[in-house]
C-alpha cells in the first residue's frame, strides 16, 4: 500500500552535498541542498499572509539557510508537492487554513505543480486573492 502524504512528510533530514557534475543548472563543485518536506513546510509557515514567492526564491532561501550554493530543483519540487498534499489532507480533515502549510504562497495557480495537486488551481487562486485583498 502506498504511503499517505503525512507519512511522506517524514523523509530524511535535509543535507548538503557537493556536486561531482553539473545538475539542473547548478555547476559542478557547487554545494547542493537536498531539502526535506519539514524544512519546506517550516519555510512556508514563516511567510506572512499575502507574501508570495516563486519556487526559485524558496529554493534560494533554503539553500542560503543551509550554507549551500543552491537547492536541488527536482527534490525541492517533489517535497513541495508532498507538503501541499499533506496540507490539503489536513484541511479536508477539518484543520483551519491558518494551521496548514500555506503552499499557495509559492505555488502559482497556472504552474505545472498546481495541475498535479488535488487542491486545484482555483483553490490556489482564491487563497491568493483573499490574502491580497486582506492586505489592502
For residue range 94-126, what is the model confidence (pLDDT) as tens digits?
A: 999 999 999 999 999 999 999 999 998 999 999
Q: What pLDDT does residue 46 have?
A: 97
Q: What pLDDT does residue 135 have?
A: 59
Q: How far apart are CA 61 and CA 97, in angstroms?
A: 24
Domains of the chain: total: 1
Average pLDDT, the chain: 96
Return the number of other C-beta atoms located less than 10 Å from residue 53's C-beta: 15
Residue span of the structural domain in which 74 resides: 5-134
What residue has cell string 477539518? 94
**Mean pLDDT throughout 2-22?**
96
**Mean pLDDT throughout 54-63?**
98
Indicate if the pLDDT at residue 33 is higher than 80: yes
Indicate if the pLDDT at residue 136 is higher than 60: no
Q: How far apart are CA 93 and CA 91, in angstroms?
A: 5
Identify the three-state secondary structure at position 23. strand
Return the number of other C-beta atoms located less than 10 Å from residue 125's C-beta: 15
Query: What are the pLDDT digits (tens) for 63-101?
Result: 999 999 999 999 999 999 999 999 999 999 999 999 999
Q: How far apart are CA 134 and CA 132, in angstroms?
A: 5
Amino acid at each position: 500500500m502506498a504511503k499517505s502524504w503525512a507519512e511522506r512528510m517524514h523523509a530524511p533530514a535535509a543535507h548538503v552535498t557537493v556536486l561531482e557534475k553539473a545538475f539542473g543548472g547548478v555547476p559542478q563543485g557547487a554545494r547542493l541542498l537536498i531539502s526535506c518536506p519539514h524544512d519546506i513546510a517550516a519555510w512556508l509557515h514563516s511567510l506572512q499572509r499575502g507574501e508570495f514567492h516563486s519556487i526559485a526564491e524558496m529554493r534560494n532561501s533554503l539553500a542560503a539557510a543551509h550554507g549551500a550554493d543552491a537547492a536541488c530543483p527536482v527534490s525541492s519540487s517533489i517535497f513541495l508537492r508532498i507538503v501541499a498534499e499533506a496540507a490539503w489532507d489536513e484541511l479536508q480533515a477539518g484543520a483551519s487554513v491558518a494551521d496548514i502549510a500555506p503552499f499557495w504562497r509559492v505555488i502559482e495557480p497556472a504552474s505545472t505543480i498546481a495541475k498535479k495537486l488535488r487542491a486545484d488551481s482555483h483553490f490556489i487562486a482564491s487563497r491568493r486573492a483573499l490574502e491580497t485583498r486582506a492586505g489592502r
